[in-house]
Chains A and B, each alone.
Chain A
Amino acid sequence: MAMAALRREGRRFVPLISPQPISAVQSTLISQEQAPLGVRSISTQIVRNRMKSVKNIQKITKAMKMVAASKLRAIQIKAENSRGVWQPFTALLGDNPSVDVKKNVIITVSSDKGLCGGINSTSVKISKALQKLTSGPEKQSTYVVLGEKAKAQFIRDSKDNIELILTELQRNPLNYTQVSVLADDILKNVEYDALRIVFNKFHSVVSFPPTMATVLSPETVERESESGGNLGELDSYEIEGGETKGEILQNLAEFQFSCVMFNAVLENACSEQGARMSAMDSSSRNAGEMLDRLTLTYNRTRQASITTELIEIISGASALQG
């Protein structure tokens, strides 16, 4: 069996090894791992090199997982604290994902760095499906892209529909001021009837379902409240302050957008770290398995070449005797 394995491996490694005529005795003195020994004895050097590199990769991915875990801890607190901030708006205005409007703007939140599993692809898939859902004869939907990963995916096929691209959100720790400036930027440059924010909501380290939050423009809110339905009760609310109802609704829509964006960006950052943790974890596990297999191969190779040497010596000795 060892000879069969040897023959098999010999065939694979032949082009790399230059055949050198070395006697049986000498080969036992020279350590197995050094010079290539010809077709019958394979160098274990190559397998050992592979093992070293796989072990290094395993260490790196383990370290990345620890880093992601610590970052997750820090940002999870912020995200959970920010969950209260969008609930009053939904309590007042209700949730209208199926609202029918002319101009939809789909805001996709994604990460800048990779190695985080499939969350960015999921967000992009959902955004593209949303775009199909909300476009029609008189309707139109465009994208605002946050994050490098979604940008790379969108630029490939939907370049004309992208209105705005923003990257490097997480250079400084996320805070409300930064996000409100971002929201202001978006609102200034984009015409919209409804804004749909697609992000990954953080449920737990292994679960981050894609979520879509809807923010309506003040005109749409007025129109929907007149037609009844979810917003039908809005008229019963008295307006305090401001000159007109329209002005208050405008401020309300802007404030709602910045609050919802803040929560969305934080939740997505949490999901990114969680996804990175599980990706790096499975990567380390795979590296470990690979290392096990390589170790077996290494041992087999080593034992086979020892067996070969022994056989040569013994047959040489018996040839001398007999």
Chain B
Amino acid sequence: MKTEVKSQFRLEPVVFHTLNTLFMLIVVIVTLYPFLHTMAISFNDGSDSLKGGVYVWPHTWTLQNYKAVFVSGTIYHAAFISVSRTVISTVLGVFLTTMLAYTLAQPHYIFRKKISMLFILTMYFNAGLIPNYFLIKDLGLRNSFWVYILPGLVSAFNLIVIRTYIRSLPGSLVESAKIDGAGDFRIFWRIVFPLCTPVLATIALFIAVGSWNSWFDTFLYASSEQNLSSLQYEMMKLLGSTMSTNNDPSMMAGANTNQTQAMVTPASIQAAITIVTAMPILFVYPFLQRYFVVGLNLGSVKE
């Protein structure tokens, strides 16, 4: 490929696009495989999967694994909780982070450095499990829905990413708005926020995926309240219980070894769980992709 670099030959685009397409096909195969494999395992009989040989297509079809996932009636409410926390966290998180990023991108702002530093440091320390637990307890957030929203609302990483993006925007837009007498909030909301669409889509994706996938906050702060259980937490519960029945010698002591029937194994359950929990969030990205268009932001200003 390197030899093509310098040549201005007309064949170049054809060669490049062919090679590039081939390369992308390899990327697709390599990254699609694990997902197809998981899907195949999720539709395959657990004990059949155990002996290997299932790649991207099930050998012995069964819905047993999915039945095991949906048997507990609790997962519907848990899914509702998960969707709610994801939507609320994303909307609030994107709004607040961008607003803060806007202020920190203003070179004249007096607290710019102090607040930036305050946030940056948080990326590199963690107070620890127990102090955090006491904080949540003292704030009265235990067994409250808001424990899913408040603690991670504005993350330093997202803040910096947005700030970097805002800084790369043409400064003249803000300047001219200021000359027109617009206040900072107005400039932020009317001009900067819409201009940031591509990066906001990215950050929205990050927050949504993070919120959707998290179960540790349920584990620590809301585990005794079934009404607040999230989908991921219910799935962890299910996976754990599948594993433990296969691991506990005292439970197995009386078990009948000579059974013949389709069975679920930890691996087959896990595959089904992965598909069930990943599917909804997977569709977020394709939806957000339409905001990833080159020049979109500038175009919107031109209107």
Binding partners A and B: no
Q: Interface residues, chain A, CB within 8 Å of chain B?
A: none
